[in-house]
Amino acid sequence: MKRLDPGVTQKIVRGILLSFTALTVSILVFIITYVLLKGLPVLGWEFLTKGAVDAGTSGGIFPFIVSTVFITVVALAIATPLGVGTAIYLTEYTRETIVTKVVRFAAECLAGIPSIILGLFGFITFVLFLKLGWSILSGALTLAIMILPTIIRTSEEAIISVPQNQRDVSTSLGGTRWQTVTRVVLPSALPGIVTGIMLSVGRCIGETAAVIFTAGSALPTPTSVFASGRTLAVHFYILATETDAFGMAYGTAAVLIIAILTINVMAYWMMHRIMRKFS
Amino acid sequence: MSRVSPRELAIERILQAIAYSSIAILFIITFFIFKEGLPFIFREGLGEILGGVEWRPTKGQFGILPMVVGSLLVTGGALVIGVPLGLSCAIFLVEFSTPKVRRILKPAIELLAGIPSVVYGFLGVILLVPLIRVHLGGPGLSLLAGSIILGIMILPTIISISIDVLEAVPRSYREGSIALGATTTQTVSMVVLKAARSGIVTAVILGMGRAIGETMAVIMVTGNAVAAPGSVLDSIRTLTSNIGIELAYASGDHQEALFATGVVLFVMIMVLNLAASMTRRKRIR
């Protein structure tokens, strides 16, 4: 076989790679614009503030917005102290030992568990065993487990990037370890930690498999953590699979995508600022 | 530290307990899934379940072989689509474009990961499935549709990790190759990709984990028929779909069978996690 001229090969390879990259980017642009084009006309004051009519096939999505916010806030309230606490312990209180390796490995494994397995676990443990039933609390506990690894990892990275001399100054002024952590390390690491929390919010909002079997799909607005609630993602799934109210489905999808993209873009923007500050 | 106040010591103990909670949670999840699924597996026999091709929960037949095959096929299909596309994208962004382009496109591609899986599934049903049905035949809801949707869904994972891995290859490697008169293409294929090999394997394994664990999108586009497919245009059911579809109304033996499905899935995922973690460790060393 005749060998191709390296210069020609170079041009061909570059062309192929460029077209694959263009394809990937256009898929992204297409998905977002398609959903927004179909969904935005449905959005309106009524749609966002009214309750569901006819099992959600008409009316609004207000109860589902409330459920989504409610479940996300409770999940964060559970996962944030655990995640940030773990990160503080791993970075500020111990050296790298076999125990910290096991903790990191456990967090890594948790990150790899598919959400349907978490849903299965939440269903048998929180809903049935602890008798919490299909409720905001069951859903939030399950989501908290799902986002815990993200919060640990991002908090750890944020804390590690705080310059050592800041800690040394605090210690030399007679600060105890906890004082150093709360008054020096955490304030410096806060933007990074918040970035991790925001990325977790995005995941909570978009999750379906872990929530549908733990929080249920009740239509009314939940009034306590023990009430069942239907999140936006679950509502969208039910509309898309069990009804033909595609207009309502597109509207709900648009709300989901706008919320998640806004939060993620803000998170990336913060991360970018932090990286600039430290480089 | 010479003297530690009781308060400081208490705080340290509390933080320690919090840090161990990850281990405890992992243990509890494993315990509950296995507690529900293992007795059923022992009662029915692992061979009966893993080797059985009939899934008729109401008649006491609980073979999940078609689902195992379905999961493996759709994951393989996703890799066939996602790996070349994702890897090309990462190589282009790192080796053939400017850092400025990369700074914009990398986060943009990572945003793909934020789009909920139900939205991917819905677009699959609305746009991709009719396309397959009209142009290629079959029901449309198929192994092919599942592979394409999952292939797109694992792109952010593969691209983002591959970019990090390629960027971590020392500049001097590339400079040495270029100094010997190699083109960028030759440098990439002979030097950079060889140096980055284990990292790229990690990226592929993590993408695989995502594909095999995905549920909602797969339920929506694959048709969920319980039979080993004859072609890529046939309907399939995965392990995750099996749980996702039937958990809501299952009880008794049927529910235990779904937990047994969960056990099989859990073991597959843990093997992948271990593999990913081993390749990652090798890379750091």
* Residue A1: predicted pLDDT: 54
**Under an 8 A CB cutoff, do A240 and B122 touch?**
yes
On whether any CB of chain A is under 8 Å from the CB of B96, the answer is yes
Q: What percent of chain B has pLDDT over 90?
A: 64
Task: For domain B51-284, give the fold.
Answer: MetI-like fold (1.10.3720)
Taking only the tens place, the pLDDT of each residue in B224-272 is: 988 888 889 999 999 999 999 999 888 888 999 999 999 999 999 999 8
Is residue B54 helix, strand or coil? coil
Phi, then psi, of B168 in degrees rounded to 5:
-80, -10
**Under an 8 A CB cutoff, do A114 and B84 touch?**
no
* Residue B3: predicted pLDDT: 63
User: For residue A250, what pLDDT band results from cuts at 50, 70 and 90?
Assistant: very high
On whether any CB of chain A is under 8 Å from the CB of B119, the answer is yes
Mean pLDDT for A223-249 is: 92
Nearest-CA distance from B15 to chain A in Å? Answer: 6
Whole-number Å distance between alpha carbons of B138 and B157: 31
Disruptive mutation site among B3, B15, B152, B178 for chain A (greatest number of A CBs within 10 Å): B15
User: For residue A41, what pLDDT band results from cuts at 50, 70 and 90?
Assistant: very high
Identity of the residue in B116, B214, B247 whose CB atom sits nearest the CB atom of A120: B247
Q: Please report whether residue A23 resides in a domain.
A: no
CA dist B21 → A85, A130, A196 (Å): 10, 19, 19
For residue A148, give its domain range: 60-159+172-278
Helices within chain B (DSSP H only)? 6-44, 46-51, 65-91, 99-111, 117-123, 129-135, 143-153, 155-168, 171-179, 184-187, 193-195, 197-213, 216-222, 239-246, 253-284
CATH of the domain at A135: 1.10.3720.10
* Residue A86: predicted pLDDT: 95
Name the region of B181 (left: φ>0; alpha: ψ -120 to 50; beta: rest).
Answer: left
Of A32-46, A49-63, A240-254, which gets the smallest average pLDDT? A49-63
User: For residue B59, what pLDDT band results from cuts at 50, 70 and 90?
Assistant: confident
Q: What percent of chain A has pLDDT over 70?
A: 98
User: For residue B285, what pLDDT band results from cuts at 50, 70 and 90?
Assistant: very low
Taking only the tens place, the pLDDT of each residue in A160-194 is: 989 889 899 998 998 888 999 999 999 999 988 99
**Under an 8 A CB cutoff, do B240 and A116 touch?**
yes
On whether any CB of chain B is under 8 Å from the CB of A128, the answer is no
Identity of the residue in B19, B29, B240 whose CB atom sits nearest the CB atom of A86: B19
* Residue B211: predicted pLDDT: 94
User: For residue B282, what pLDDT band results from cuts at 50, 70 and 90?
Assistant: low
Report ipTM for this prediction: 0.90
Whole-number Å distance between alpha carbons of A158 and A207: 26
* Residue A19: predicted pLDDT: 93
pLDDT at residue B283 tops 60:
no
Taking only the tens place, the pLDDT of each residue in B67-103 is: 999 999 999 999 999 999 999 999 999 999 888 888 8
Domains of chain A: total: 1
CA dist B55 → A221, B1, B221, B222 (Å): 38, 63, 20, 17
Q: Regarding predicted confidence, which is higher, B285 or A66?
A: A66
CB A121 within 8 A of CB B260: no
Average pLDDT, chain B: 90
Taking only the tens place, the pLDDT of each residue in B171-224 is: 999 999 999 988 888 899 889 999 999 899 999 999 999 999 999 999 999 999
**Under an 8 A CB cutoff, do A110 and B105 touch?**
no
Of A57-71, A223-237, A261-275, which gets the smallest average pLDDT? A261-275
B57: Cα separation from own chain's centroid: 28
Nearest-CA distance from B99 to chain A in Å? Answer: 14
**Under an 8 A CB cutoff, do A23 and B265 touch?**
no
Q: Please report whether residue A28 resides in a domain.
A: no
**Under an 8 A CB cutoff, do A20 and B88 touch?**
yes
Q: Please report whether residue A14 resides in a domain.
A: no
Mean pLDDT for B29-58 is: 90
User: For residue A198, what pLDDT band results from cuts at 50, 70 and 90?
Assistant: very high
Mean pLDDT for A112-136 is: 94
CB A154 within 8 A of CB A271: no
A residues 47..76 contacting B (CB < 8 A): none
pLDDT at residue A233 tops 80:
yes
Q: What percent of chain B has pLDDT over 70?
A: 97
pLDDT at residue B168 tops 60:
yes
Residue B3, token pair as written in the block: 């003297």
Whole-structure pTM value = 0.92
Mean pLDDT for A124-130 is: 94
Q: Please report whether residue A37 resides in a domain.
A: no
Q: What are the domain boundaries of chain B? A: 51-284
Q: Please report whether residue A8 resides in a domain.
A: no
* Residue B184: predicted pLDDT: 87
Q: How many CA atoms lie within 13 A of B26 on its CB side?
A: 19
Nearest-CA distance from A216 to chain B in Å? Answer: 9
Taking only the tens place, the pLDDT of each residue in A134-165 is: 999 999 999 999 999 999 999 999 999 898 89
User: For residue A2, what pLDDT band results from cuts at 50, 70 and 90?
Assistant: low
Taking only the tens place, the pLDDT of each residue in A75-86 is: 999 999 999 999
